[in-house]
Amino acid sequence: MKAAANKSSTTGVAASRPPAAAIVVDRIWKRYGSFEAVKDVNFTVAEGEIFGLLGPNGAGKSTLIRMMTTLIPVTAGKALVGGYDVSKAPDDVRRAIGVIPQAMTSDPDLSVVENLSIYAKLYGVPRVERERSIADVLEAVDLTKWREAQTKTLSGGMRRRLEIARGLVHNPRIFFLDEPTTGLDPVSRIAVWEMLNKLKVTRNLTMLITTHYMDEADKLCDRIAIVDHGTLVAMGTPVELKNSVAGANVVEVHFGRDSDAWPARLEKLEGVTSVQPEGGGFYRVITRSGSKTTMQIVELANSLSETLTSLSVQNTTLDDVFIHYTGRQLRDEQVKPANFALPRPEGRP
Ligand SMILES: Nc1ncnc2c1ncn2[C@@H]1O[C@H](COP(=O)(O)OP(=O)(O)OP(=O)(O)O)[C@@H](O)[C@H]1O
Ligand SMILES: [Mg+2]
């Protein structure tokens, strides 16, 4: 792993004492027959942290979550969640955690409160506490006035909030969310982020989320692990990851006339570490010195009598980090809408 940095976040924890680990994943593997979905992954999540697993479709994010939440067995290695070994003490792990799976699993034909009530019973929340707990979680996700509504009448964002409430009804310490905002519109996504940030503080939660949205990882997570092809390729705070990319700046340039020769010409400039063609004469140039590269691009265009339509210097984004560590772009077409099916059964290809 090309680790960006090992410094862990101290969010919500006294600085004098190292934060306790809520999740420890130690050299974990998952094989489906001869296919290795997760390969030798290690990470630790401190209490009170929001930790993100960021990666494209098929990276192994859900497989990791499903092992940590005891839904599928670990092939090799070990995971401790809330201090309990997922393989040896799965019942203790289940009591300590709340899980929001990637697929929406609330029953569309039941009311909001009925969906919550079933879960509260399933988790053995005593009858005297059930009503109060349901009222609390409904308030926390802003669905109190919808408690009697049929679940199928809710919008996608409201249904996601119901799923979040359902995962909290037994008051867990550690919360797992598999792609909490996939398929939601931009306004609902921001509402879910705000809600999760508030819940983290008010309910003293540790959270592990998976996402393939860069902006989500950047805004929500204290630390991020980039996962690709079952392997953890980089880990750190969003700032550490951005700083770890060789080029500290990105120069965005638009040439009046596109040409196959631009990438090679740009790559030769001083300090340039990579060039990404964006199409239509647009290029993103990653460089160690934004100012030098900008000057040189102007000189290059002048010497070739080519026009520059636009030129700007920007800071590195998590997209650049992803490209740097995986050699690929996390493109929009890889992001699929929310999946309403039940989770795939173990062993099915
Ligand atoms: N039950 C299974 N049997 C065989 N292969 C599986 C099974 N479940 C997952 N896989 C494979 O393991 C790999 C990782 O899948 P996983 O669902 O963990 O990816 P992901 O990162 O969650 O992707 P997505 O963003 O699409 O949800 C994929 O190649 C997938 O096809
Ligand atoms: Mg998944």
**C-beta separation of 242 from 318 below 8 A:** yes
> 12-16, 78-82, 206-210, 269-273 — which is least confidently predicted?
12-16
39-47 mean pLDDT: 96
Token digits for 261?
């020769």
Q: Which domains does the chain have, with CATH numbers?
A: 21-242 (3.40.50.300), 245-329 (3.30.70)
Q: Please state, as a whole number, how many other Cβ atoms lie within 10 Å of the Cβ of residue 12.
A: 17
Q: At 349, is the pLDDT very low, low, confident or very high (cuts 50, 70, 90)? A: very low
28 CA from centroid of ligand 2 (Å): 17
Q: For the CA atoms of 19, 243, 328, 27, what is the dihedral angle to 10 degrees?
A: -30
Type and span of the H or E element at 189: helix 186-202
Looking only at the bridges linking them, the beta strands covering 50-54 and 223-228 are: parallel
3 CB neighbour count, 10 Å cutoff: 15
Dihedral sign from CA coordinates of 322, 325, 328, 333: negative
On the question of pLDDT at 18 being above 70, the answer is no
Does pLDDT of 236 surpass 90?
A: yes
Among protein residues, the one with the nearest Cα to ligand 1's atom 30 is 58
User: Helices 156-168 and 127-140 sit at what angle, rounded to 10 degrees?
Assistant: 140
Question: Does the structure show a pLDDT above 60 at 331?
Answer: no
* Ligand 1 atom 18, closest CA: 60
Atom of ligand 1 minimally distant from the CA of 60: 18
| SS3 state of residue 30 | strand
Mean pLDDT of the chain: 86
4 against 145, higher pLDDT: 145
**CB contact set of 48 (below 8 Å; sequence gap of 6+):** 11, 12, 13, 19, 22, 200, 204, 205, 206
**What is the atom index within ligand 1 of the atom nearest the CA of 38?**
14
User: How far is 109 from 167, CA to CA, in rounded Å?
Assistant: 19
What is the rounded distance in angstroms from the CA atom of residue 349 to the CA atom of residue 254? Answer: 45
In the structure encoding, which two tokens stand for residue 204, read together? 């003293």
Q: Which ligand is nearest to the CA of 334?
A: 1
Q: Which span out of 206-210, 277-281, 288-292, 344-348 was modeled with the highest average pLDDT?
A: 206-210
Copy the structure tokens of residue 135. Answer: 């009222």
Report the distance separating Cα 242 and Cα 287, nearest Å.
Answer: 13
Single pTM value for the model: 0.79
Q: Which residue's CA is minimally distant from atom 7 of ligand 1? A: 349
pLDDT higher than threshold 70 for residue 246: no
Q: How many angstroms separate the alpha carbon of residue 349 from the centre of ligand 2?
A: 14
The Cα-based distances of 40 to 46, 112, 303, 304 in angstroms read 20, 40, 51, 50
Instruction: Give the model's confidence band at 19: pLDDT under 50 very low, under 70 low, under 90 confident, else very high.
Output: low
- Cα–Cα dist 212/150, whole Å: 30
Average pLDDT over residues 24-48: 96
Closest alpha carbon to 168 in 143, 133, 207: 133
d(CA 12, CA 196) in angstroms, rounded, equals 15
Cα–Cα distance list, 224 to 16, 217, 237, 238, 347 (Å): 24, 7, 6, 7, 29
Least confident of 80-89, 177-186, 211-220, 239-248: 239-248
> Which amino acid, residue 8?
S
Q: What value does the mean pLDDT take over residues 266-273? A: 91
82 phi and psi, to 5 degrees?
60, 25
Question: Cβ distance 213 to 52 under 8 Å?
Answer: no
The pair of structure tokens assigned to 132 is 């109060």
Position in ligand 1 atom list of the atom nearest CA 346: 1
Instruction: Give me the mean pLDDT over the 237-248 stretch.
Output: 81
